[in-house]
Amino acid sequence: MPGNSFGKALVLTTFGESHGTAVGGIIDGLPSCLEIDVPFIQAELNRRKPGLDFFSSPRVEEDKVEILSGLFEGNSTGAPIAFIVYNQDQKSTDYDHLIDAFRPSHADFTWEKKFKIRDPRGGGRTSARETLARVAGGALAKLFLQTKNILINATICQIGEFSIRDSSSHLLPKEILVFLEQLKTEGDTTGGVISCTISGVPAGLGEPVFDKLHADLGKAMLGINSVKGFEIGSGFRGASMKGSEHNDLFVNDNGIIKTLTNHSGGIQGGISNGEEICFRVAFKPVSTLMKAQQTVNASGEPVIIPGKGRHDVCVVPRALPIVEAMAALVIADHLLRST
């Protein structure tokens, strides 16, 4: 099965299934002599693990990471760094009713059509549990970027129809908490939007044709479970602007060339221009509902699947470290390509 590796100079390969023994990965290309802060990696994993609030999955996982290779006395050796997280709280019987049924908006149908076999337990390889390997790999990339004074910060700017103007606080407004509680009671779900900024990126990262920096960021974000939209800078709003409004004018600021505005989102012609990179990622509602849904089975016969299992009402809060991790992998990859 191709498509399990991401990056060129810095390559992350992940493995594992939702209800398998473990999930993990190998990251190759990280420079040697980099101090590896394992507690930092664990802290990043803790940000995405389930069971942290009333609207996330109640699945209880410690998500304790183990580093298997590539370190000596706390520093990277330049060899591939392998890591693993063992699954602890699988309840595979929750999925017995899905052996032959195709869940609406899930990957059940498409996976079976492609591979002629699928693991119905929690979605198998298509489960969002795989993203913990991305967060661990992204944490390693973040440690490298920190040595270059490059920082990545993702915040929630929308949940459902509610916009969040002040994203400096990581606490959700009360009206949104009430909304999520109501959805949970109804057995329903919602989506949202995450905004992400990357500061400290030097000008000159990215390629002008197929490996444009914003294209790689788009691929990274659209590869995250439940993501349905990506826009950078002015995004779709730019389509309604005039060129005279949208152009980012260059100025000389005490010997440093900058732009007065940042409609480009820090990337022009596929290459970073030194300004802050800013983009947004849209997540669809979680497809698994705690209410009955009509579907068909493998024979095409209509069936009703009950609302059963352990799932998030909204994935957006747990997706923050995933967005940051994938952004870190892209920037670190392009930075290493340029050296």
pLDDT digits (tens, 9 = 90+) for 314-338: 999 999 999 999 999 999 999 999 9
Domain assignment of residue 171, given as a range: 5-337
Look at residue 307 and tell me whether its pLDDT is greater than 90.
Answer: no
For the cut 70, the answer to whether the pLDDT of residue 168 exceeds it is: no
- CATH at 61: 3.60.150.10
Is 258 buried (19+), middle (13-18) or exposed (0-12) by CB count in 10 A? middle
Helix axes 316-337, 131-146, angle to 10 degrees: 50
- H/E stretch holding 175 reads helix 174-186
Contact 189, 286 (CB under 8 A): yes
Give the model's pLDDT for residue 308.
79
Supply the pLDDT for residue 170: 72
Tokens read off for 150: 């490059």
- The greatest distance separating any two alpha carbons of the chain, rounded to the nearest whole angstrom, comes to 71
Q: Is residue 121 pLDDT above 80, yes or no?
A: no
Contact between 273 and 205 (Cβ < 8 Å): no
Q: What is the tally of structural domains in the chain?
A: 1
pLDDT digits (tens, 9 = 90+) for 203-260: 999 999 999 999 999 999 999 999 999 999 999 999 999 999 999 999 999 999 999 9
**Token code pair at residue 170:** 């990581």
- pTM (2 d.p.): 0.94
Per-residue model confidence as pLDDT tens digits over 61-78? 789 999 999 999 999 999
**C-alpha of 162 from chain center:** 21
